[in-house]
């Protein structure tokens, strides 16, 4: 039986290639990601990563290490193969803290894949897509500049565009953002406006009604499912849920209230690959399209979400995200990259990517 012998943790700052401005004064520029390594007695290392953004979810990078330390006595000496059994033990020991558990769960899946000699997509349901569609997220700046970015990325093969809204609190500017991006990319590509919970139902409804003649979707305008459902009903526009969709109960509620045409299944919101796979299967049953991704991060979390996406019914995958393509440095420079607006999961056993341990600084925490 394989046994866990050591847990190491690093904090690595990731800098966005361009600052992301969002509604309600939220920004994303340089964010700290947490890299986790779980070593075993047979010489293997499983890698995990979580990059929480404090204003996005009730989570923060420096909260991961204390939570991991609390869970260490359950992990050390345990068998990592078959992650869900060990994750169930962690849930019994420490309720919540799913973002910290996400990095652990990814590392356990990496080890399980290595022991099995299989890529993770083979263990998560089997490969159902060779490549997957990417979207490109456009920071909330001047409407004409956002349209230029959309056209530029469309020329690189991107066919789905997330338009950040609300950074200036001007609902009419948000109308212009959606109109100009829609015009810039023409008919066919998917365009959706994302407030990241930062709008009132009134302002979101005004925007939605003003662009109701366009082929656009709205994403999580308000902080509650009830308000999002109100906007969905008032505008008649399809809606994607994000921040409010984080467990079985919230998925069922959003579906029942008719505002979950699409949904973001993000690893750290649910607690890693194990919980996200269960959410994926429920969303397939409910009929929602999925954006399979994570809150932020680099190559490790990107690899994990790509494996989950590749093992999902392609008819239900709206898009995935190459998070590592938005930030520097790359943790694993040989990790997957976008090509013609699409991306493939890594090959090789487990995640199929690993940082060069020698390129990392001394770990900030070692437990053994």
Please identify every residue annotated as catalytic.
Answer: 164, 266
Cβ-count burial of 132 within 10 angstroms (0-12 exposed, 13-18 middle, 19+ buried)?
buried
Q: What three-state secondary structure class fits 178?
A: helix
Q: Where are the alpha helices (DSSP H) in the chain?
A: 64-75, 83-93, 98-116, 120-123, 143-154, 171-185, 201-210, 225-235, 248-256, 267-270, 273-286, 299-310
**Residues listed for the chain:** 368
Q: Are residues 82 and 273 in contact, defined by beta-carbon separation less than 8 angstroms?
A: no
Instruction: Give the Cβ contact number of residue 193 at 10 Å.
Output: 30
Place of tokens 């991704």: 293
**CA terminus-to-terminus distance, the chain:** 18
Pairing of strands 317-320, 289-293: parallel
Q: What are phi and psi of 280, to 5 degrees?
A: -55, -45
């Amino acid at each position: 039986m394989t046994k866990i012998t050591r847990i190491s943790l690093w904090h690595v700052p990731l800098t966005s290639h361009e600052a992301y401005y969002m509604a309600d004064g939220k920004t994303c520029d340089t964010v700290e990601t947490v890299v986790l390594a779980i070593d075993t007695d047979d010489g293997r290392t499983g890698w995990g990563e979580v990059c929480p953004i404090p204003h996005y979810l009730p989570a923060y990078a420096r909260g991961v290490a204390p939570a991991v330390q609390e869970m260490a006595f359950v992990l050390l000496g345990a068998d990592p193969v078959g992650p869900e059994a060990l994750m169930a033990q962690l849930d019994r020991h420490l309720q919540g803290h799913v973002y910290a558990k996400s990095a652990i769960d990814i590392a356990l899946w990496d080890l399980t894949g290595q022991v099995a000699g299989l890529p993770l997509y083979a263990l998560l349901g089997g490969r159902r897509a060779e490549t997957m569609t990417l979207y490109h997220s456009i920071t909330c700046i001047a409407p004409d500049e956002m349209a230029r970015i959309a056209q530029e990325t469309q020329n690189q093969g991107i066919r789905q565009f997330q338009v950040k809204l609300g950074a200036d609190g001007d609902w009419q500017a948000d109308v212009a953002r959606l109109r100009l991006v829609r015009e810039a990319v023409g008919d066919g590509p998917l365009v959706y406006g994302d407030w990241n919970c930062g709008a009132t139902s009134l302002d979101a409804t005004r925007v939605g009604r003003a662009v109701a003649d366009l082929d656009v979707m709205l994403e999580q305008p308000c902080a509650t499912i009830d308000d999002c459902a109100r906007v969905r009903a008032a505008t008649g526009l399809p809606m994607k849920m994000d921040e409010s969709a984080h467990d079985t109960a919230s998925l069922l509620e959003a579906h029942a209230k008719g505002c979950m045409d699409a949904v973001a299944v993000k690893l750290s919101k649910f607690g890693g690959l194990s919980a996200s796979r269960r959410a994926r299967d429920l969303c397939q049953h409910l009929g929602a399209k999925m954006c399979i991704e994570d809150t932020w991060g680099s190559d490790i979390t990107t690899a994990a979400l790509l494996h989950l996406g590749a093992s999902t019914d392609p008819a239900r995958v709206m898009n995935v995200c190459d998070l590592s393509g938005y930030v520097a440095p790359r943790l694993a420079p040989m990790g997957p990259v976008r090509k013609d607006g699409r991306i493939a999961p890594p090959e090789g056993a487990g995640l199929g990517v690993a940082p060069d341990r020698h390129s990392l600084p001394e770990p900030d925490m070692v437990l053994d």
